[in-house]
Structure 1
Amino acid sequence: PIPVYYKDGIPQVMPENELPLVLPEVDKFLPTEDGEPPLARAKNWKYKGQYDYEWTTMPGWAGSSWYFLRYMVQDVKNILPENDKFFVDKKSADYWQNVDLYIGGSEHATGHLLYVRFWTKFLFDRGFISVDEPAEKLINQGMIQGRSNFVYRYYNSNIFVSSGLIGSISAQELFNLAVSQLGNQKAEIFRADKAPTYSKFNVDVSFVNNDILTLEAFRKWRDDFNNAEFILEDGKYICGVEIEKMSKSKYNVQTPDEICEKFGADTLRLYEMFLGPLEQSKPWNTNGITGVSGFLKKLWRLFYQTGSFVVSEEAPTKPELKTLHKTIKKITEDIERFSFNTSVSNFMICVNELSDLKCNKLAILEPLLVLISPYAPHIAEELWEQLGHKESIAFAAFPEFNEAHLVEDNFNYPISFNGKMRFNLELAANLSVQEIEKLVMEAEQTHKYLEGKQPKKVIIVPKKIVNIVM
């Protein structure tokens, strides 16, 4: 409750030594019959037995506007109870200062920030804290939108026409399809002279896979669909699609439990990130989730290439080290930019390259697991334990990028004549301009294009191009 009472209709603040004001008992947490707040229900709840207290209470926003400061308390046991009049340890608050990153949906974050910025600025002005902004950085993550599916019922019937057929074929062609799929008697309804009309309505996405309707599940969905008939295209009923807000009334809500049960929690986490940039709204579409699931299986197979767990202690090759450190560099940059969707792409490239190299080296796979563990913690933790570690992968040091592993030994030079590229020549990457020119001029293909003539000039940009001017 707010520590305020009313004397002669004028609000008065309770003395500090009488705090805290304890909530009274009420018969129920509902407004009174005349619309007053629930605290007005309390019996004999008055200041010094004669003055009414303030009946409204501070909103939940109020508490969540300063609790981040309380988190900074170094040792609660040493703060309480002796110093419980201090809401925050000033030494800790001066050290930790404000929140590094505030992340939340735009609607919630906007409303909450109005409160938290007011409280922070008020406390700063009163000298209780040393910062006047609650957070250093704000990110509003985009909304995951629903992907609704629709079926199309032919008017005055219980026959549903696949979406790809609507408007793309003539009435006669539709009638012919109905005859071939339903028989003459049921197809008779399509012999109308007027253009066909349909009623379109949402269908539960739980029995739609890649926009293909599971017919039996649809028939069991509602009693009036038990005898539903379908006109298919290529043997399938293809549903219509629209992107809109997730809603139970649109039957397009996808619960995480269903995805986790079918594909696993790591697949769900990675796929959510893979959908697009963090700050953009994205349509939820499970059509591509099998690709992410396949990637995790491919990661697993790096450790189980022979069907059993086998990891080699051999020294890694240069291509293997290059793939690992290229990935470390990209993932580190992605994390700093909050670009998690590109991280998933980079992990896929890395695992594909290591699979092609048939790599099962401990020196490569161990840091790769640490790298991917924030994204797919469950599979990373499982494989980490199988590597013999007793402590969780969460405590492992993050891999460090070594630029030396990205330095190329050779460079494939495009050799041009008068600005037109004719062939490529692979040379050592550390050659001088004079050495490059000598080897290029000695090449058999160069003699072919020179046709016995002497070039006017040879332009060389190391690790880029060679252009021979005739």
Structure 2
Amino acid sequence: MDRTIENREKSGVFIGTHVVNPVNGRKVPLYIGDYVLMSYGTGAVMGVPGHDERDFVFARNYGLQYVPVVRPVKDDERLQQILDGELCYTDPGVMLPCADEVFGELGLEGMPNEDAKWAISGWLDSRGSGRRVINYRFRDWLFSRQRYWGEPFPFVHWEDGSVSLIDESELPLVLPQVEEYRPSDGGESPLARAGEWLDVIDSSGRRGRRETNTMPQWAGSCWYYLRFIDPQNSERFCDPELEKAWMPVDLYVGGAEHAVLHLLYARFWHKLLFDLGHVSTEEPFAHLFNQGMLNAPAFRDQRGVLVPVDEVTEKDDGSVVRNSDGEVLERINAKMSKSLRNVITPDDVIAEYGADTLRMYLMFMAPLDHQRFWDPKAISGIHRFLRRSWALITDNADTGCRDFASEESDEATRAIHKAIKGVTADYNALALNTAIAKLMEAINELSGQPISRETARRYVLLLAPLAPHLCEELWSRMGYADTLAYEDWPEYDEAVLTEDSVTVIIQVLGKKRGQLQVAREVDDATLQELVVQAQSGSNYEVNGNDRFIVVRDKKDQTPKLVNVIAKR
């Protein structure tokens, strides 16, 4: 198990020989590494320092070549760090350009990296250099445990050596009360001490002993979602009609590690129930979403060894040194762990900023499925946004809310409808960070001007999934007696989003010389007259004898640009 610990030092030995990369024919040094697991694949793996964090640390420790092949989809500050070998990029991305012949042959440059994996494995397969197979990462599941807490096995070991299940009338078999939770002196489960519960005699006088091991609690957690549908049913685990109405689960959110643990076994359990005719769906979960890892600041010495945060000091010049010897350390982002003592305690953040601020900051940091990096300085921005939301509704009054306008500007109405359209789409796509950005845009447009009660109501409902505590208080301040949780979701009007006027760029001889606000449905002749008027008295006057080229939007035919070919 020591090999699976993320933060342990990665070490190895070069054995003095090389292997050949079948894609490009280059030699690759062969190391014996202490972090490579025999149970993973064949036990011999290709090190990829550019895109595997453990390989990245190992390559740094031994000065091995770093060759990035994947980059973010959009250019950002990480790209140069990746190219310089300063960042291990593990998120989804696209392939970087490469001189290797296979890149050109398969058209890999710019291809999504998951598609590129499939293309390259097929290429190797076609040349006899490898074989494309699917490896299932099954892990042994020890189902029988020597402990008290767990589901008791419902069968009896009889004195004649036979074993039988208990009668259905005796189900469910409930754990007995015990005074001692430690194993017995003979190493048996604590249930070995439960004499009255443990020893049984059947109707013929045959003596038996209940199984003292217990199931690992997963026996219950593998089908909990079914019991949630009908938790008070004492006759069956779930009413069939309710099961048909609610199943399958629409969305399962969990870490990628669930694919080989709970998610895997829950599917086994559900498929068994399906085969037995107890459930109506073959699969329990319709959609799986893996959230990204939350990382926090950590520190690494010159050997690549990670140093716990409480063993370092940050100096006035921004450098960080180890307390024991004064060595200057490298600041990195790493997985939160107890060993590094870089875990962020939610209670401390909530005490300073409130639960809604913490909740929203976690969702705003990055796309939900990406790695995120905790920055204690950035959380204040979310706190300011929530304070502005509070002020928008209450005007910072001690009680109640602001005086709402009987009429509001078209801009305010358009702003809330635009927010409803954008935020709703982002929620459906689990794009929570961009939903927050759209709410920030909305409050910038709504603040400082009169707004109607309906606009305020819609804004609070849009914000509520992200900041439920604040919004329930605002809802109450607005005079509503019941919770907002059961309110209908606000809808937008596409007609409201359509502006009455559009901005037209004026070009003279291909260069921008001004712009003009015109009605959406303006015709070419009227637009030509307006351009002549707008340019009158400027250094770039035009007249009716010049040639006018009007460019319109292909979808709605609104004017976008007028290019005047002036006759000089």
TM over 0.5: yes
**Equivalent position amino acid for 2:494 in 1:** E
Q: 1:376 aligns with which of 464, 467, 472?
A: 467
| Deviations, residues 345-364 of structure 1 (Å, cap 9, x unaligned) | 11111112212x42343232
CA contact (8 A) 1:205 1:252 kept: no
Task: Specify which of 21, 34, 39 is matched with residue 191 of structure 2.
Answer: 39
- 1:301-450 equivalence runs, <5 A: 301-305=391-395, 309-355=401-447, 357-441=448-532, 443-445=534-536, 449=540
Instruction: Select 2:352's aligned residue among 246, 249, 262.
Output: 262
1:67 is the counterpart of 2:224: yes
Q: Secondary structure at the match of 1:130?
A: coil
Amino acid at match of 1:45: D
Give 1:92's aligned residue: 242
Higher alpha-carbon Rg: 1
Which residue is 1:195 aligned to? Answer: none
For residues 210 and 291 of structure 1, what CA distance do their matches in structure 2 show? 25
Superposition deviation, residue 201 in structure 1: 5.4
Match of 1:135 in 2: 285
Task: Report the 3-state secondary structure (helix = DSSP H, G, I; strand = E; otherwise coil) of the residue aligned with 2:559.
Answer: coil
* Aligned partners of 2:298 and 2:307 also within 8 Å: no
Q: Say if 1:377 and 1:207 are closer, same or farther in 2 by CA, change over 3 A.
A: farther
Q: What does residue 123 of structure 1 align with?
A: 273
Return the alpha-carbon distance in structure 2 between the equivalents of residues 147 and 34 of structure 1. 48
Structure having the higher helix fraction is 1
Is the alpha carbon distance of 1:283 and 1:9 closer, same or farther for their aligned partners in structure 2, counting shifts above 3 Å?
farther
Could you tell me how far apart the structure 1 residues matched to 2:396 and 2:162 are? 82
Root-mean-square deviation (CA, aligned residues, Å) is 3.8
When structure 1 is superposed on structure 2, of 403-412 and 23-32 the one drifting more is: 23-32
Q: CA deviation at 1:458?
A: 2.4
* 8 Å Cα contact 1:72/1:93 also seen in 2: yes
Identity of aligned residues (%): 36
Contact 1:205 1:251 in 2 (8 A): no
Give the match for residue 287 of structure 1.
Answer: 377
Paired with 2:499 and 2:397, the residues of 1 have a C-alpha distance of 35
Structure 1 match to 2:156: 5
Matched, 1:245 2:395: no
Select between 17-26 and 268-277 the one with higher mean Cα deviation. Answer: 17-26
On the 8 A contact 1:316/1:364 being kept in 2, the answer is no
Name stretches of at least 5 consecutive residues in structure 1 with no aligned partner: 153-198, 214-223, 231-237
Q: Distance in 2 between matches of 1:331 and 1:392?
A: 21
Distance 1:205 1:467, change over 3 A: farther
- Separation of aligned partners in 1, 2:350 and 2:171: 49
Tell me the amino acid that sits aligned with residue 468 of structure 1: V
State the Cα distance separating 1:399 from its structure 2 match.
Answer: 1.4
Asked whether the 8 Å contact 1:267–1:376 carries over to 2, the reply is yes
- What is the letter of the counterpart of residue 229 of structure 2? M
Residue 464 of structure 1 aligns to a residue whose secondary structure is strand
Helix, strand or coil at the partner of 1:136: coil
One-letter code aligned to 1:16:
E
Deviation at 1:438, TM superposition (A): 4.2
Aligned to 2:278, the other structure's residue is in SS state coil
Q: Once the 2 structures are TM-superposed, how far is the Cα of residue 203 of structure 1 from its aligned partner?
A: 4.1
- Which amino acid is the alignment partner of residue 2 of structure 1? F
Change over 3 Å in CA distance of 1:353–1:206 after alignment to 2:
farther
Aligned-residue offset at 1:441: 4.7
The letter of the residue matching 2:518 is: L
Mapped to 1, the partners of 2:317 and 2:363 lie a distance apart of: 22
Q: CA deviation at 1:368?
A: 0.8
The structural deviation recorded for 1:297 is 1.6
Distance in 2 between residues matched to 1:200 and 1:137, nearest whole Å: 37
**Partners in 2 of 1:205 and 1:389 — Cα distance?**
52
- Structure 2 equivalent of residue 274 of structure 1: 364
Q: Secondary structure at the residue paired with 1:400?
A: coil
Assess, with a 3 A threshold, how the Cα gap between structure 1 residues 34 and 146 changes in structure 2: closer, same or farther.
farther
Q: 1:266 to 1:451 in 2, by over 3 A?
A: closer
Which amino acid letter does the alignment assign opposite residue 115 of structure 1? Answer: Y
Deviations 1:268-322 (A, max 9, x none): 1111111111112212111111111111122222245486652223211100011
Q: Distance in 2 between matches of 1:409 and 1:16?
A: 73
SS of corresponding position for 1:328: helix
Q: How does 1:187-206 map to 2 (within 5 A)?
A: 202-204=308-310
Give the Cα separation in 2 of the matches to 1:29 and 1:91. Answer: 41
Separation in 1, partners of 2:537, 2:506: 9
Matched residue of 2:407: which SS? coil
SS at structure 2 position matched to 1:242: strand
Per-residue CA deviation, residues 68-113 of structure 1 (Å, 9 max, x unaligned), is: 2122228x3xx43xxx2x2221111122122111112222454111
One-letter code aligned to 2:199: W
Distance 2:181 2:287 in 1: 38
Distance change >3 Å, CA 52–CA 428, structure 1 → 2: same
3-state SS in 1 of match to 2:466 = coil
Alignment of 1:29 with 2:181, yes or no, is yes
Cα separation, 2, equivalents of 1:456 and 1:244: 63
Listed as ranges, the gaps of 5+ residues in structure 2 are: 1-151, 553-557
Q: Count the aligned residue pairs.
A: 400
Query: 1:147 aligned to 2:147?
Result: no
- Aligned partners of 1:211 and 1:281: how far apart in 2? 29
Q: Following the alignment from structure 1 to structure 2, what is the Cα–Cα distance between the partners of residues 375 and 66?
A: 29
Separation (CA, whole Å) in 2 of partners of 1:407 and 1:205? 59
Change (3 A) 1:447 1:297: closer
Counterpart CA distance in 2 for 1:267 and 1:205 is 29
SS state at 1:71 partner: helix
The correspondence for 2:386, drawn from 266, 282, 296, is: 296
Contact 1:47–1:53 under 8 Å retained in 2:
no
Larger RCO, structure (CA 8 Å, separation 6 or more): 1
Question: 1:162 maps to which residue?
Answer: none
Task: Name the CA distance, whole Å, in 2 between partners of 1:448 and 1:10.
Answer: 106
What do residues 218-239 of structure 1 show as CA deviations (whole Å, max 9, x unaligned)? xxxxxx99xxxx9xxxxxxx99
Matched letter for residue 522 of structure 2: L
Give the whole-Å Cα distance in 2 for the aligned partners of 1:453 and 1:434.
10
Residues 10/297 of structure 1: CA separation in 2 closer, same or farther (3 Å cut): same
- In 2: Cα distance, 1:283 partner to 1:295 partner: 20
Q: How far apart are 1:340 and its partner, in Å?
A: 1.0
User: Aligned partners of 1:389, 1:456: CA distance in 2, in Å?
Assistant: 61
| Residue 211 of structure 1, CA deviation | 10
Match of 2:562 in 1: 466
